[in-house]
Amino acid sequence: MRPYRLVIFATGTRTVGRGKRQRRQTIGYGYMGWTPVQAYQEARLPSAGSFLYPGLHAVHRAAHVYLALPETHQVSVRTGQDRSVYRYYKHADGTITGYGEGA
């Protein structure tokens, strides 16, 4: 069973400036998907959780959980060696499309 990682891309807002010049600014950010279940022994503590998902089925389920969040617009599935395997895109109307990366 090969381990996979998730990279989630989202959009949020932050406040910049002070006083009368204070305004909201839209920013994009990315973060790694986290699972509390540790399927591989990469950490010191057995209950520490992991960034690795065991197999394609587990990473597919986790990708759809992250895509259900309103701020998420893209999820990338990657191998342990940081090679992109699959990419999910969420469109403005809420539909999700996915594309496999060429081998």
pTM over the 0.85 mark:
no
Q: Which contiguous run of DSSP H or E holds residue 97?
A: strand 96-100
> How remote is the C-alpha of 91 from its chain's centroid?
16
pLDDT value at residue 41: 65
Split at pLDDT 50, 70, 90, the class of 40 is: low
Query: Which ranges in 1-103 belong to alpha helices (H)?
Result: 56-67
∠ at Cα 101 (99, 103), nearest 5°? 145
| Cross-strand pairs, 54 | 3
Amino acid of residue 60: H
pLDDT value at residue 78: 92
